[in-house]
Structure formats: structure tokens, C-alpha cells
Amino acid sequence: MLKELDPVAAPAIATSDIAPADAAAEVQEYLARQNSKDLLRFITCGSVDDGKSTLIGRLLYDCKCLFEDQLASLETDSGRFGTTGAGQLDLALLVDGLAAEREQGITIDVAYRFFTTERRKFIVADTPGHEQYTRNMVTGASTADAAVLLVDARKGVLTQTRRHSTIVSLLGVRHVVLAVNKMDAVGWDRETFERIAADYRVFAARIGITDVTCIPVSALTGDNVTKPSDSMAWYGGPTLLGHLESVDAAAERKLGSFRMAVQWVNRPNQDFRGFSGTVVGGAVRVGDDVAILPGGRTSRVARLVTMDGDLETAEPGQAVTLVLADEVDASRGDMIVAAAGRPEVADQFAAHVVWMDEQPLLPGRSYLLRAGTATVGAQVTELKHSINVNTQEHAAAKHLDLNDVGFCNLALDRPIPFDAYADSRETGSFILIDRLTNATAGCGMIRFPLRRASNIHRHATKVDKAARAGDLQKPCVLWFTGLSGSGKSSVADRLEQELHRLGRRTMILDGDNVRHGLNRDLGFTDEDRVENIRRVAEVSKLMVEAGLIVLVSFISPFREERRMARTLVEDGEFLEIFMDTPLEVCEARDPKGLYRKARAGQLPHFTGIDSAYEPPEAPEITLKGGEHGTDEMVAQVIEELRRRGVI
Amino acid sequence: MLLDPLLDPHPAAKDRSGAATGSPGSVPASEDSLPAILTTPARLTHLQRLEAESIHIMREVAAQFQKPVMLYSVGKDSSVLLHLAMKAFHPSKPPFPLLHVDTTWKFREMIEFRDRTAQELGIDLMVHINRDGVRQGIGPFTHGSAVHTDVMKTQGLKQALDAHGFDAAFGGARRDEEKSRAKERIFSFRTASHRWEPKNQRPELWSLYNGRINKGESIRVFPLSNWTELDIWQYIHQENIPVVPLYFAKPRPVVERDGTLIMVDDDRLPLKPGETPEMAWVRFRTLGCYPLTGAVRSTAATLPEIIREMLLSTSSERQGRVIDQDAAASMEAKKQEGYF
């Protein structure tokens, strides 16, 4: 069996006794033909029950992309794990490569497979169908030009099909094929197929998928997969493979202007400085005027350097090193763009977000956002609605759980250049990274920039915080964190008295007190706790600017929010004070009777009982509440404040 | 010589000059006659796309990590990987060293080729040998292929990565090689103990690679993920990339064992009763430790002949690897333990 059955080339080079010179010529010609083929990346979606893996197995098998040793091991495996019955090859086992997948008979993660026909090269991403692995399907869809959705002819369009279609549409996959599989099981019935196809077209149009092709197939028998079906003579359309060979792969995105995110500054010596990156959007030529964003400086392209020699033009998809005519500064995270066709530059935008982490997305929490080569701090400022991927209904949401989809406003630490995702996948997409675990926690597709930030300008005042504080003190935040009953409020209260006695200007922000006023509208869910701390952090920042020593006494259980509060003020102005009092001691004290209620189940989300407390990793001051008295601890803080020159 | 067996010594150069004069989409030479400027067709070829993707990945690693290293196994995939690295950072040298984990049982020609290549390209080459394993006398004949590979290769690799504190390591693995590889990300996360967790891989979207790690953790990077065996040979041919001569057929001394042809590369191969090495025309489709790598009978002594032979082959390239045939899903288990 040939690895690759190329009807034109194979017979010519199969003759083993041709002279070496002919062999070289034949191979040259063959390779030239290979190299002129283009590439289509597509995903397959559906569950094992729909015969998805069987379909890919069938494509590989029929395209002669399997070797004898692979077939032999497939025969062995079919006997051990197969579900197609004795003596039958279970083609699904070709793609389910992980031990857990073979044992459970499901697809968990994306598998990439490669095959070639006479007309085209293909990369198939076989994606899982189960809702719990949606994030893995999204991974496969992000780079796909086309999607093959499988439905079982006996069942028709199900919830799962609608979910996959929604994700395919969100990720901007342009061409959708509905493969109505298992036609053999419905007696090759035309009406069944046409009813399912009509159903699906109505649904697809509703969610904005315009290019739909429906094909009746049987992956088991191979009908209409690679060869036309005799059993379905009533069907006049292309086979699945025939259609995939003709889909327009050069996905003409709307963006036609040059973009290049700077990946790496290439500086081998004093005389050469180039900016390495991959061209997207439109071509770039030597002599083109370009702008460097977000800064906005402009220059001209002097050279397009590659190891094979300088280029005059670089096309989208090419990796080059660009040399500019002027000594302008650019670094990783900047984007070099056509001066005449620039992207948006903003620090706020609206986007669809797919959440991929076990820890829910909480509005107000700070994440890292990667877009192109830029990495910036970002938070969701408003979760407008979540989208039920099964019913496509919009619903109000306070957070996004694993595999949820939402439409959100995001705010960044600084402006970045971007395009709408609909215009450009490369410059309209981003991922969100958890700051503590570094996990890729979510991904997003940008819809449009928000202008509100650009119309609010900061007003520089003449009297600043140093002037307001005078020689009296160095303004700062003393942030007390610890369990309920750990002694935060008592120590803060006594400390303020002591500072007052020493003639310093102070203010106390106490959790309970603030919740009676400013934060009256907030409860105790994780998302409300995040917002609670965000507001208090902003207020404490204003008070530092007023020149005060601000004592904040909040449980503040999450590291991430305390980190965020720290970043609002300048270095050295934030002292984290950890009330390290053991839970047993706090619970024994129980000054407000809250632990008793929580243990009785009357107080949900109580920190230390059924809601986590994340202790600080490097607090400026640690107070052992279980071992020392209040006066002792106050003295410890005062000493530290003197040492740091705060007082 | 053997590295350039083609009748046409510079096929790539010829293709380019052809494009510059005639093909559609090319720009006619201007009258101010600029120095040799290349033109690019508006639609990139399949290999140009693969090349650009690999270069993009390598630059991301160089920019995102403190201390990357390129695992260099001396095989054809390593040759392509190294060639791409030279392209990715030109005119700079690649900003990372090469690391070869030497099991002490590699073919002698591989070692010669390795040292010559590093010297010619002017790249730092580090060679690591698991000295504990050598002291214990670990070898494929005394301990079997599984123990030998685990101690000398997997454990040796972990020792080297830990000793130098490398936070990212490039490998030349491709997704078309094996089923568990087909599932692996391009940036493949490893815990502080080098474990791969196949059921909990980081989502990897678009061309946004998340290289953020905590102290002690690392990433294995596979820039050739989307290449196939044919792409590799086609690229070697197009770019004129030197590869180890063992890929080309010539008469070599071999013994046949359990259906596998083992080359007698030195006098450490214990001959069984009745075994006599015979000279046979053979070549290798894949290279590793010589006692664990099966040769194939072949007369393909040039690149076009190798490519032609591959197109007609009925078995996959890993078939010649003794270690892959140990157990079903054995690669997944080995990868979890830290194998590349």
C-alpha cells in the first residue's frame, strides 16, 4: 500500500528499474506538484456515538494514509477495545490516542491528523463532543478554516449539534459541513436526510453561519465519504472529501492592511537592529510607510531580511525580520502596521469570552491578557450576559464557569492595538491567563473598542500627596488581612489610637462599617467579595492621595485582590499585615457568633469554613494573634512603621 | 559528497532564480537593479507555511523564556529543526545552545556528524551522559531496551535539564509520528518533576502560546508538530540540509534478529550462537541507539531515491524502533515520565 496514493505520480515512480537520473527527475516533478498544493485545516465535531472518529479513520484509510504496521496494531486493538464487533476494524481507535480515551471510548482532547489527496493537503483536528471538553474543541476550532459537524441520521439535529455550531460560529469558522451520518441505518432514506438538512439550515442562519453544505454519508461503509454512494443515487451533490477539496481555503478576511506584532528584537551587533515577527493582514513592501503602535511613531520599511536573502515584498503568513529607515524604538508587544490602514488602539473593548478554567471568571479580578505579543493586566468590568451554548439564549450572569461563554467589557492596564475578530483572527483574539497558576483560563474574540476611557482625562493637580502630608508622615495603606475573629479590627483600632496620640493623621476603613454604606449592595459570593475589595482599594488609594495613613481591616481572603490593591498605590505605600491567628482560636473567640451560624449551615460562603482563605505569601508584617496580646502587636507595627520611615 | 547526493546540486537556488524571472506574481527586475532581491508568490506554498509557523514558535520561545535549550538528537528532524533555528534568528545566531543526551550507544557516524555540524554552524553544543547509568553498567543488552532507554535517555535528559535549569526545551517530535503525539500541544507543559499530564493540557488557541510557568516548571516545545515525514524529506531536499549519511543506503555489516536488521557498529554487540554479520545494502529511516534501531534493506543512495522509496513504503518510520513496540500506548506512559 502506498503512503500516499497519487494516481498521477505513483505509477510513474513505482517502476523500480528506472535509471537514477529519471528517478531524480520524477521525484523533482512529484515534489513540485506536492509543493503547489494548498492546505485546508478543518475540525470534526460530534460525539463518538455519531461516528466522528470512525469518519476520520475512514478518510485516512480511504486516502491510503495508513501503513501496514499501523493497520496490524489496529487489528490487535480492535480485538481488545473495539466496539464494532468481532472481525471488524474499529477505525475510531486510530484517532483516540490517549489511554483514558481508549478505555472510556470517548474523545477527550484534540488530535491532529494529516492526509493528502491529489488536490490538497489537510490537517484535521478531531475535537471532543462532550460539553465538559468544550475548551478542547475551542482549541481545535481557533485555527480551522472549515468544520464538519456530524449528526446521526436516526436522531437528527440535537442540542450537541447546536452547541458545536454556536462555538464554530463564535470562533469564526467560515465553512460548515453538516455530515448526516449512519444513512445505512435509516435505509438510505432521502426524506430523513432532507428533513434534517432543512432543520439545520434554519438554525444555522439564525446564528449567523452562512456557508452550509449538507451531505448524507455512512462512515461505516464509506458511502459519500470519498466515493459517491450507489445506495443514495438520489443525492446529486459532492462527496465529503470532494467538497473539502474545493472549499475556498484562502479565507479572505476583511483585513487587508499590513500588521506585524514584534516578537523579538534582532540585534546581533551595533550595526543591525531588526524586528522579527510574522506578517498578517496584508503584504508589506520595502519603502512602505509604517506606524509603531501603541506609541504611534512612524517610519519606513528599509529592508525585509531573511536568511535566504532580502525580500522586496512579504506576504501574510511569512516570518521576516523588518529593518526600519529611522532609529525608532520598538520592542516586543508593539505592533508595526501600515501607516495608512491602522488598527484600533484602546484600553477598553467589548468581547466574547469562552471560559476554560475550573476557577470561575470573576468581574473585577485582575488577569493577564495576551494579544499578539503584548501581555497586559486586564479585568472584566462588566459581564453583560452569558450565552447558553445549547439554547443560544442570553442570561444575566455574575460570573462565568468552566466552558461558559459570555459577552463582556474589558479594561486593560494600558492601551493595545487590535482589530475586530470578524476582520482578523490574528489581531482580534486574546487569551486570559490566571496570575497565580499561569493557566490559560479563557479566550476572547474582540467585537469593538469602547471609547469611554478616552474621553476622561486625568486632571493634574498642583497640590500633591506629599504636600498634603507635609513633614508629618509618609502616607500609606496598612492592609490588615485574616480570618473573621483573628483580631484585625481590635489591633487596627488600638493602632489608630496610638498613631493619633503620636499626632499622625489617620483613617480607618473597616469591613463591617463599609458594608453598611458604600458596599451595601454587595453580598458574600466570590464575585461580590472581589468587587467589595476593589471599591475599598480605590477608596484607600484616594485617602493615600489625601496624605493619610489608611488602616484597612478586611478579611480580604483572595491573594489576587490584595495584589490588585497593592498595585493601585506606589511602591512602598502598601504594607500587608497578616493576622496569623489559627482558625481554632478565631472560632473559639467567635465575637459575633458567626462561626456558630456557619457551622450550623445558616451562613453560606463563610471564610475558613466553606469559603477559602488564601494566606499572604510575603506580607510586610505578620502578627501572631494566637500568641501575643493586642498592645504587643501594636508596638510591633509601630516599630516597623518607624523603621520604614512612615512615621 | 554524501550529503549532497542530488544530480542537481542546488535545486533550491534553481527554483528561486526560476521564480524571479518567470512565474506569475513575480516582480520584474527593476532598472535601478537592486542587489539580489527575492520575490514571493502571493500564495505561500505548503512548505513556506510550515516553515513560517515553526519560526514563529521558535521566536516566541526565545522571547518568553529565560533559558531555553534545543534538544539535538542528530536525526533528520533535528537537522531540520536546527536549520529553522538558523533562519528564525538570522542574522543573529540562535539564542540558545544545543543539548545532546548521549546514551553512549549512538552510531559512531551520528557522533561525528553532530560534532562537525555544531562546529560548522558555530553553535554551542552540550553533551550530557548519565554518569550514574554508566557506573551501573546500564546497556541495552544487559538491561533490555526499556531500562536502557529510561535510565540513559529519559533520566539522563531530566538530569541535564535540572542541572542547567533550562525552562524550555525544543524537541523535533511530529504529530504524525504516533497517536499520543497527535494529541500533544506545541507548548507542552511539564510539572516540576517533568511530568506530562495528557488529560489536563493547557488550551492552545490561534498562534498565542502561553509560556508562563512557575519556578521549577518547564515547557517542551515542538515546532515541527504539523510537519509530516514527507514534508521533512521534501524540505531537506529543497533547502539542501545536511543529514547523517546513515539515511543513505550502502553496504553495511548487519545481523538479523527477531525480524529486525541490527547494524554491527562496534564490537560491543554480542553475537548469538550461529550469528555472523553479513554485508547488506541497508539504510535507516530513523536513528537512535544502534542496537535498538532496525535498518531496512534498500539501495536508495540519493535523496530522490529515498523520497521515492518512502512514497512506496508500506510501513511507518517508527516501526524500526524497538522501544515503541513494548506495550500498547507505551509512548504515552513514557512521555508522562518525562521522555521527549
Decide if B152 contacts B136 (C-beta within 8 A). no
Decide if B219 contacts B190 (C-beta within 8 A). yes
Instruction: State the Cα–Cα distance between residues A401 and A375, nearest whole angstrom.
Output: 23
pLDDT of A483 above 90: yes
B312 vs A279, which has greater pLDDT? A279
Q: Which residue from B49, B52, B92 is facing A266, i.e. has the nearest CB? A: B92
Where is the binding site, in residues of A? 46-53, 126-130, 181-184, 482-489
Mean pLDDT score of chain B: 82
**What are the phi and psi torsion angles at A94 (to 5°)?**
-70, -30
Chain A positions touching B212 (Cβ under 8 A) are 368, 433, 438
User: At A252, is the pLDDT very low, low, confident or very high (cuts 50, 70, 90)?
Assistant: low
User: At A131, is the pLDDT very low, low, confident or very high (cuts 50, 70, 90)?
Assistant: confident
pLDDT of A12 above 90: no
A505 vs B44, which has greater pLDDT? A505
User: At A524, is the pLDDT very low, low, confident or very high (cuts 50, 70, 90)?
Assistant: confident
User: At B20, is the pLDDT very low, low, confident or very high (cuts 50, 70, 90)?
Assistant: very low
Catalytic residues of A, which ones? Answer: 556
pLDDT of A523 above 80: yes
Residues of chain A with pLDDT > 90: what percent? 57
pLDDT of B246 above 70: yes
Q: Which residue has the cell 455512512?
A: A218
**Residue B197: what pLDDT?**
85
The CA–CA distances, whole Å, from A253 to A281, A319, A326, A351, A421 equal 8, 19, 31, 18, 10
**Residue A220: what pLDDT?**
85
**Residue A261: what pLDDT?**
98
A562 vs A87, which has greater pLDDT? A562
Cis peptide before B91 (omega within 30 of 0): yes
pLDDT of B173 above 70: yes
Torsion angle of the four alpha carbons A7, A9, A15, A16, in this order, in degrees rounded to the nearest 10: -130
Chain B positions touching A113 (Cβ under 8 A) are 175-176, 182
Q: Which residue from A68, A98, A266 is facing B89, i.e. has the nearest CB? A: A266
pLDDT of B52 above 70: yes
- Residues forming beta bridges with residue A375, ordered by sequence position: A370
User: At A26, is the pLDDT very low, low, confident or very high (cuts 50, 70, 90)?
Assistant: confident
Instruction: State the Cα–Cα distance between residues B90 and B95, nearest whole angstrom.
Output: 11
Output the 3-class SS for chain B: CCCCCCCCCCHHHHHHHHHHHCCCCCCCCCCCCCCCCECCCCCCCHHHHHHHHHHHHHHHHHHHCCCEEEECCCCHHHHHHHHHHHHHHCCCCCCCCEEEECCCCECHHHHHHHHHHHHHHCCCEEEECCHHHHHCCCCHHHHHHHHHHHHHHHHHHHHHHHHHCCCEEECCCCCCCCCCHHHCCCEEEECCCCCCCHHHCCCCECCECCCCCCCCCEEEECCCCCCCHHHHHHHHHHHCCCCCHHHCCEEEEEEEECCEEEECCCCCCCCCCCCCCEEEEEECCCCCEHHHECEEECCCCCHHHHHHHHHHCCCCHHHHEHHHHCCCCHHHHHHHCCCC
Instruction: State the Cα–Cα distance between residues A631 and B153, nearest whole angstrom.
Output: 61
Instruction: State the Cα–Cα distance between residues A3 and A272, nearest whole angstrom.
Output: 46
**Burial (CB count within 10 angstroms: exposed 0-12, middle 13-18, buried 19+), residue A623:** buried
Instruction: State the Cα–Cα distance between residues A10 and A313, nearest whole angstrom.
Output: 36
B311 vs A311, which has greater pLDDT? A311
Chain B positions touching A428 (Cβ under 8 A) are none
pLDDT of A105 above 70: no
A357-382 burial, b if ≥16 CB within 10 A, otherwise e?
A: bebbbbbbbbbbbbbbbbbbebbbee
The DSSP output letter for A406 is E
**Residue A88: what pLDDT?**
61
pLDDT of A16 above 70: no
pLDDT digits (tens, 9 = 90+) for A167-208: 999 999 989 999 999 999 999 999 999 999 999 999 999 888
Decide if A328 contacts A297 (C-beta within 8 A). yes
Interchain CB distance below 8 Å, A318 and B37:
no
The DSSP output letter for A186 is G
Show Cβ contacts of residue A625 under 8 Å, excluding neighbours closer than 6 positions.
A482, A486, A487, A491, A579, A580, A581, A585, A633
pLDDT of B24 above 50: no
pLDDT of A10 above 70: no
Cell of A180: 448526516
pLDDT of A362 above 60: yes
Could you tell me the pTM of the whole model?
0.78
Element (H, E) at A71: helix A68-81
Residue A374: helix, strand or coil by DSSP?
Answer: strand
Cis peptide before A294 (omega within 30 of 0): yes
Element (H, E) at A508: strand A506-510
Where is the binding site for ATP, in residues of A? 482-489
Interchain CB distance below 8 Å, A24 and B7:
yes
pLDDT of B26 above 60: no
The nearest CA of chain B is from the CA of A327 a distance in Å of 19
Chain A positions touching B43 (Cβ under 8 A) are 38, 250, 315
Q: Which of A4, A17, A27 to mutate to test the interface with B (most CBs of B within 10 A)?
A: A27
Q: Tell me which range, A7-16, A236-245, A606-615, is most confidently predicted by mean pLDDT.
A: A236-245
Instruction: State the Cα–Cα distance between residues A293 and A131, nearest whole angstrom.
Output: 39
pLDDT of A20 above 70: no
Mean pLDDT (whole number) for A597-611: 85
Mean pLDDT (whole number) for B68-78: 95
User: At A48, is the pLDDT very low, low, confident or very high (cuts 50, 70, 90)?
Assistant: low
**Residue B79: what pLDDT?**
97
Interchain CB distance below 8 Å, A312 and B37:
yes
How does strand A175-181 pair with strand A146-152?
A: parallel
Mean pLDDT (whole number) for B292-302: 91
Mean pLDDT (whole number) for B273-298: 90
pLDDT of A337 above 90: yes
Torsion angle of the four alpha carbons A487, A488, A493, A498, in this order, in degrees rounded to the nearest 10: 90
Residue type, B81: L
The nearest CA of chain B is from the CA of A228 a distance in Å of 27
pLDDT of A439 above 90: yes
pLDDT of A82 above 70: no
Decide if B34 contacts B200 (C-beta within 8 A). no
Interchain CB distance below 8 Å, B63 and A310:
no
Residue A545: helix, strand or coil by DSSP?
Answer: helix
Each domain of chain B, given as residue ranges in start order, spans 46-230+330-336, 243-325
Residue pairs between chains A and B whose CB atoms are closer than 8 Å = 250
Mean pLDDT score of chain A: 87
The nearest CA of chain A is from the CA of B284 a distance in Å of 17
Q: Which residue has the cell 526499556?
A: B146
Residues recorded for chain A: 647
Residue type, A523: G
Interchain CB distance below 8 Å, A312 and B329:
no
pLDDT digits (tens, 9 = 90+) for B112-154: 999 999 999 999 999 999 999 999 888 888 888 888 888 888 8
Chain A positions touching B96 (Cβ under 8 A) are none
Cell of A358: 475550573
The nearest CA of chain B is from the CA of A225 a distance in Å of 22
Q: Which CATH architecture has domain B46-230+330-336?
A: 3-Layer(aba) Sandwich (3.40)
Residue A11: helix, strand or coil by DSSP?
Answer: helix
**Residue A382: what pLDDT?**
92
Residue A334: helix, strand or coil by DSSP?
Answer: strand
Residue A467: helix, strand or coil by DSSP?
Answer: helix
**Residue B4: what pLDDT?**
32
pLDDT of A505 above 70: yes
Interchain CB distance below 8 Å, A263 and B315:
no
User: At A69, is the pLDDT very low, low, confident or very high (cuts 50, 70, 90)?
Assistant: low
The nearest CA of chain B is from the CA of A295 a distance in Å of 21
Q: Which residue has the cell 535545486?
A: B11
Residues of chain A with pLDDT > 70: what percent? 88
- Domains observed in chain A: 39-246 (3.40.50.300), 259-337 (2.40.30.10), 344-452 (2.40.30.10), 465-643 (3.40.50.300)
Instruction: State the Cα–Cα distance between residues A561 and A566, nearest whole angstrom.
Output: 9
A561 vs B219, which has greater pLDDT? B219
Decide if A67 contacts B313 (C-beta within 8 A). yes
User: At B10, is the pLDDT very low, low, confident or very high (cuts 50, 70, 90)?
Assistant: very low
Mean pLDDT (whole number) for A440-469: 77
Cell of A423: 476582520
Torsion angle of the four alpha carbons A619, A625, A630, A632, in this order, in degrees rounded to the nearest 10: -70
User: At B41, is the pLDDT very low, low, confident or very high (cuts 50, 70, 90)?
Assistant: very low
B35 vs A317, which has greater pLDDT? A317
**Residue A11: what pLDDT?**
33
**Residue A497: what pLDDT?**
93
Cell of A379: 479585568
Interchain CB distance below 8 Å, A312 and B90:
no
Full strand arrangement of the beta sheet holding B250-257: B260-263, B250-257, B278-283, B296-297
- CA proximity to B47, closest of B228, B272, B253: B228
Instruction: State the Cα–Cα distance between residues A163 and A392, nearest whole angstrom.
Output: 8
